[in-house]
Amino acid sequence: MQEALPREMYVDEAAWRVERDAVLYGEWFCVGRQEPLGLGDPSRVVALDVAGESVLVTSDEQGALHAAYNVCRHRGSQILPASSPDGPASACQASALRCPYHSWTYGLDGRLLRAPHADLDDTSAFSLAPVGVETWGGFVFVHLSPERARPLAESVARADATLANYGLADLVVGASFRYDVAANYKVLLENYNECYHCGPVHPELCRLVPSFAGGGDDLDWEAGIPHREGAWTFTTTGATSRAPLPGLDDDERVRHKGDLVYPNLMVSASADHVAAFVLLPHAPDRTTVECSLLFAKAAAEAADFDPGDAGELWDLVNQQDWAVCESVQRGMTSRSYRHGWFAPMEDDSLDIRRWLLPRLGRDPDGAT
């Protein structure tokens, strides 16, 4: 048995702020799918909440992406109304960004264009504070500390290899769900990373994927997880009228794969669709989850397209997961709780410790 992360890293406000500043603001953070945000469309502006910081992501007249803090360089007013921390992103079309306080005006690339009644010799010194922005697989990522950002390719390397055949960038959102979960985002990540809980928590899912019922001790995620006889995808029946995604190999056409991009993107890939989960942390005990079911564009545009067979199963499994995660969060607040333990079959869950602690300057192999 291995010790899990200590209690304070899930329930303590001060520990949350340290982790937020060092990790959520110091790593590539997924803010959602590019297509529904409209980013890439000319002259598009989206205001997003990133763990309490308001960020503007724009696509300029040529569709190139830019990002900056939503803070005017003159007196600090927000340039656009910030989106609600637990609500959807706010978006509009615009040819420039004008601060409502004194009309300082910026280009969609963040350059200061106009400062009324101000004598500025060097307007370049007053550009909006930059935020890094990149895309991968149709997802948009931002980095709030771009001066120390490593290439996004390093963060997504494993998922890029595991999910290479699914054509993520070409998929479109066919159904979406939004959940407000009263739990720390790490509880959700750890839950996703193990199937020890699948038997007790997900009986319907285990009937579809019988090997999940055994606790996941010998699951081969590299090759993918087989379904029961006659089933080949994550739907209520295990089948669907939709064709498998183009480009899949023989195993992927009948098996399930998944991967996680730290700190906040979980991806579960079935033969005909992909479920993507973007975790938006707000506080030690509050996380919004945006779940998007992604389909081939041709399938989503078909007259008879109905994602309900996949949506019904995912919504059931999701709600089961969030309920048990909220139970964990409540239990962690007890004065009796110090830290949890990882059983041998939960070894993958240790990834959060191995990934997180070095970013906080701590030994990932030391005891709590």
pLDDT digits (tens, 9 = 90+) for 123-179: 889 999 999 999 999 999 999 999 999 999 999 999 999 999 999 999 999 999 999
Q: Are 194 and 202 in contact (CB under 8 A)?
A: no
Spell out the domain ranges in the chain: 29-148, 157-359
**How would CATH label the architecture of 157-359?**
Alpha-Beta Complex (3.90)
pTM: 0.94
The mean predicted confidence, pLDDT, of the chain is: 93
CA distances from 93 to 34, 57, 58, 59 (A): 15, 12, 9, 10
pLDDT level of residue 288 (50, 70, 90 thresholds): very high
Burial of 225 (0-12, 13-18, 19+ CB in 10 A): middle
Assess whether the region 29-148 and the region 157-359 belong to the same CATH fold: no
Measured CA to CA, the distance from residue 267 to residue 242 in angstroms comes to 20
Query: Is 80 exceeded by the pLDDT of residue 217?
Result: no
Q: Determine contact, residues 51/20, Cβ cutoff 8 Å.
A: yes
What CATH homologous superfamily does 29-148 map to?
A: Rieske [2Fe-2S] iron-sulphur domain (2.102.10.10)
Distances (CA, A) of 358 to 58, 192, 279, 349, 363: 33, 21, 21, 16, 6
Summarize the confidence of residues 219-226 as an average pLDDT: 79
